[in-house]
Amino acid sequence: RNQGRRPIIGVVVAPFSLPIMLMGLERWITLLYEAPEKVHQLIAYLSRFCVRWANAQLDAGANVIAFFDPMASATMTTLDQFQAFDLSVARRCIGEIAGPCAYHFGSARAGRVLEMIPETGAAAVVVGGHDDLRSVKDLMRGRITVLGALNGIEMIRWTPAEAEATVKHCLAAAAPGGGYILTDEHGEIPFYVPDETLHAIVAAARRWGQYPLEWTKHEQPI
């Protein structure tokens, strides 16, 4: 009943991040430093599962897949580790997923890893408030679409006026020129966020998100 009316977004946990759920974060980080050969073996095995899982969701009607990889973020790992363990695997997985993918850092700071995300073949990247949204858009402009960066935790205490102001700041930072979608930074909204806040976000996006966005020329982005 939603096809053609609303986007249906599936999600897979990337092979580099899935071991956190399987063995815990501490053991996974230990393995990265002490047994890199086992890391490669495990990621290769999980990549096959990841692709099957994603394609099953697309077959069931999903329009796009969120490729959820918080372990790839600068919050969790180094650039060298991303290049050594994750980049080629992510590229292969996304290449075998039969639909568009949005690379998702799970609200963590992307940092320098962000520069390499277009190499994975992802159609979009989801960033959070730890990265400067305008800088992200400048880096990704003409390469892939940027999504973000509303903070779901902060959203709990927003007034409708604060919600509107935050939406305007995000739009001013990233919407000019296209290639931007306003979303939260994590992929889920806490139940404690008031309905009036959500309605205020939607209303602000509809009011201020209409192109050509002339008002953004006078707005100071966050």
Span 33-68, pLDDT tens digits: 999 999 999 999 999 999 999 999 999 999 999 999
Dmax (CA) of the chain: 54
The second-level CATH assignment, the architecture, of 1-126 is Alpha-Beta Barrel (3.20)
Instruction: Give Cα separations from 222 to 56, 131, 135 (angstroms).
Output: 39, 11, 11
Question: Taking residues 201-214, what's their average pLDDT?
Answer: 97
Domain regions of the chain by residue span: 1-126, 150-222
Decide: residue 141, CB within 10 A, 0-12 exposed, 13-18 middle, 19+ buried: middle
- The helix (H) or strand (E) run that includes residue 180 is strand 180-184
pLDDT, tens digit (0-9, with 9 covering 90-100), for 128-180: 999 999 999 999 999 999 999 999 999 999 999 999 999 999 999 999 999 99
pTM of the complete model: 0.93
